[in-house]
Amino acid sequence: MDLLEYQGKQFFARFGLPVSPGLVADRSSGAVAIAERLGFPVVVKAQVHVGGRGKAGGIRPARNAEEVAEATESILGMDIGGHSVKCVLVEEAAEIAAEYYAGFTLDRSARRYLGILSARGGVDIEGVAESDPDAIAKTWIDPVEGLDEAGARSWVRAARLDEGAADELVEVLIKLYGAFVEGDADLVEINPLILTPDGRVRVLDAKVTLDGNSRFRHPGYGEYDATQPRDVRERAAHARGLQYVGLEGTVGVIANGAGLAMSTVDVVAQAGGSAANFLDIGGGADVDTMAGALEVINNDPAVRAIFINIFGGIVKGEVVAQGILDALDRVEMRSPIVLRLDGTNATEGRAMIESRLSDMLILADSMPAGAARAVELAGAAS
C-alpha cells in the first residue's frame, strides 16, 4: 500500500519523527482556514500517489490567504502522472539550510534491510546514484540485530552530513528505522530531510509503502487501503478479495498462485497476444472465489477471451470446475473461456466440464496450447 504524503507524515509522527504541522483540505475555503490556523507562510501540496509534483506545479508556497486560495484552486483537479488531485496538504513553510535523503527498504538478495543516506537530498536519488555514486552511503542491517546508535552515527559520518547536527540525525534515523520495521513497511523514504538554519532536523516529505499483508496486525491500515488508486476492475476484484492487477491487453487471465499467474501472462505474450490482467485466485480458492474471478474478468469490456490456467494443489479440480459452472449459470459470459486444468483431481474436474463444452467453453491439453487458443479467439473477436 502506497501512502499519500500526509498519510506518510501521520505514520512517521506515530514513531516520533519531527514532521511539520499541516492538515488536508479538499476545497480552497478549508485550505485558507488551515493556513490561518498555522500562520503564514505555508506551502500547498498536491496529494497523489506519484512523484514529480513540484515539476508539475503541484507544490506552491503561499504568503497570505489569497495566495492559498489561488494555489488550492489551481492544484485541485490537476492531472499529475495520470493521477487527479483530490486534496491538498497545507503545511507550515520551513527555512532550509541543507537537504538530505534518508530511506530504508528491503534487499532481498542480501536478506537484509538496506539503508540509504545522502547529503544530496531534494533531487531524484536514482539520478544521484547514477551520476555521483560516492554521494550515497549505504548500510545493510541484520533484521535480528537492528540499527543501534553506533551504527547510525557511523552511517551519518560516511554520508558526510553536518557534524553539528549528528546527534539529532542519529535520533531521526533510529526512529525512521523503527517506523520501517514496526510499521511493517516495504519502503520508508524522506526526501528531503532538512536541516534548518537554527540546526533542527525536520521531515519535509514522506514516501511510505506498507506491506498490505500486515493489515491483520494494524487495524488502522484499513484507512490507507481505502485510498489506494484502483480502476473500476481493480475495485471490483479487491471487494472480492482477489489479487488483481489491471493490464491493457485482450486476454483475461485467471490462475492459482502468483508465480503461475505471472507465467501465464508471459505465455500469452509468447503466443502473440497480450494479457488484460493479472489475477491470482490463490492456492486455496473455493467455488465462490472462482465464480467471482470470472465475473470480474467478464465485466472488463477490453477482454475478448479468457484463459483459466489451473494447476491443482490445495485447490482441487472439481472446485475449479464447479466455480466455472456456477459462473456460467450466474452471468452471461461475454467472452469464450479456455480452461487448462491439471493437478489434484483434474480428471474429476474435466469430467464435470465435459457436458458444458461449447464454443464458449473450451478445454486445453496444456498451458501453451491454452494460451495459443485464447490468443486466437481474442484476435478473432477484435
Residues 6 or more apart whose CB falls under 8 angstroms from that of 154 comprise none
Helix (H) or strand (E) holding 182: helix 166-182
Q: Which three cell numbers stand for residue 291?
A: 465464480
Residue 270 one-letter amino acid: Q
> Which contacts qualify for 106-112: CB closer than 8 Å, 24 or more apart?
106/186, 106/187, 107/140, 110/140, 112/140, 112/141, 112/142, 112/143
Of 101, 177, 221, 244, the active-site residue reads 101
Whose grid coordinates read 470480474? 296
Separation CA 257–CA 255 (nearest Å): 6
- Which of 46, 132, 135 lies closest to 91, judged by CA? 46
Whose grid coordinates read 500547498? 44
Query: Could you check whether the bond before residue 143 is cis, i.e. omega within 30 degrees of 0?
Result: no
Separation CA 273–CA 267 (nearest Å): 9
Helix (H) or strand (E) holding 243: strand 243-246
Separation CA 140–CA 186 (nearest Å): 15
Of 67, 189, 221, 244, the active-site residue reads 189
Q: Which three cell numbers stand for residue 242?
A: 482477489
**What are the φ and ψ backbone dihedral angles of 112, each rounded to 5 degrees?**
-140, 170
Q: Are 74 and 57 in contact (CB under 8 A)?
A: yes
Distance of CA 152 to the CA centre of its chain: 29
Q: Is 113 helix (H, G, I), strand (E, B) or coil?
A: strand
Catalytic annotation on 189?
A: yes
* CA distances, 22 to each of 11, 19, 205, 226 (Å): 14, 9, 12, 21
Q: Are 371 and 270 in contact (CB under 8 A)?
A: yes
Helix (H) or strand (E) holding 286: none
- Which of 64, 69, 70, 25 lies closest to 42, judged by CA? 64
Residue 86 one-letter amino acid: K
Whose grid coordinates read 506519484? 50
Q: Write out the catalytic residue numbers.
A: 101, 189
